[in-house]
Amino acid sequence: MENTDTHWKQWGKLDPYHGVLFQEKYKRSSLDENLSEFFDTGESYIGSLMKYIELLYPGLPRRTAVDFGCGVGRLSIPLAKRFENVIAVDISPAMLDEARKNCASFGVSNTEFVSSDDLVSKVPSGVQLVQSYIVFQHIPVNRGLPIAKHLLKRLAPGGVCALHVPVDRDPSRLKRLVYFCKHALPGSRYLLNLLQGKTIDEPLMQINPYPIRAVYDLLDSAGLRDIWLLPEPGSHYSVIWFGRKG
């Protein structure tokens, strides 16, 4: 498999909003008329997420939240309205630059932008929320689980996580074949991009399902309690993992 960091950085340079939400209307060519809707989806998601958190873990202090895989700031902005501070983390410098611009345009000034690494070394300890949405699916499991472990170490006692991961995939046989060729055979993606009606240089985007037991064991070993699963309908059969640091 090719390096996911390389391709995510390319998405940040070439078509960042489409990379965040993989829908035609968020491509650079049609973004202007859909930009407001793009950010509305972030407000809607964080609004719903905080309702679940308040229901499961009432009274969570709203000091510092971490938005892992922040992209262009779609979720960082509504988080910043609800927390004193937000730490927005991403591997792509171009994504972080776009997130800074968007926060400024929304009048958000309580967000810090930091580059990611496998140790999430620039994220401080003692945060109240670690959240990540449609991010870990782009990271291979054998790399993503250790990253999640380091994120969970940053939680303060009583802090909460909300980590979104797919747990299964159900593409057609043809789609599975195309996916395998694109990701396992160097150079094949250029021809396949053209055959699929995409631009020849469109970066790859991995979708990696995570074993439920492995994620649960990770949260449990990190000292999280009151662990809950919220199923999310969709083609990738995803769930959001909630847990509170003991």
Identify the pLDDT of residue 158.
98
* Same domain, residue pair 105 and 190: no
Distance CA 108, CA 70 (A): 15
Q: Give me the chain's average pLDDT, please.
A: 88
| DSSP state letter for 80 | H
Identify the pLDDT of residue 91.
95
Confidence band, pLDDT 50/70/90 cuts, at residue 7: confident
Question: In the sheet that 238-245 helps form, which strands lie side by side, from edge to edge?
Answer: 111-115, 85-90, 64-68, 127-132, 155-166, 238-245, 224-232
Mean of pLDDT values over 168-183 = 54
**Residues 6+ positions from 170 with CB-CB distance below 8 Å:** 235, 237
CB of 130 closer than 8 Å to CB of 154? yes
Confidence band, pLDDT 50/70/90 cuts, at residue 243: very high
Alpha helices for 91-211 (secondary structure H):
93-105, 141-153, 173-184, 188-195
Identify the pLDDT of residue 5.
82
Calculate the alpha carbon distances from 165 to 25, 124, 140, 239, 240 in Å. 24, 23, 11, 6, 6
Identify the pLDDT of residue 206.
74
Pick the closest to residue 203 from 103, 94, 118, 101 (CA basis).
94
Mean of pLDDT values over 132-148 = 95
* Same domain, residue pair 144 and 177: no
* Same domain, residue pair 176 and 114: no
* Same domain, residue pair 165 and 178: no
Q: Which two tokens stand for residue 215?
A: 């994620």
We report the CATH number of the domain holding residue 67 as 3.40.50.150
The residue segments making up the domain with residue 147 are 4-169+207-245
pLDDT exceeds 60 at position 116: yes
Pick the closest to residue 209 from 164, 178, 149, 169 (CA basis).
169
How many domains does the chain contain in total? 2
* Same domain, residue pair 232 and 131: yes
* Same domain, residue pair 132 and 91: yes
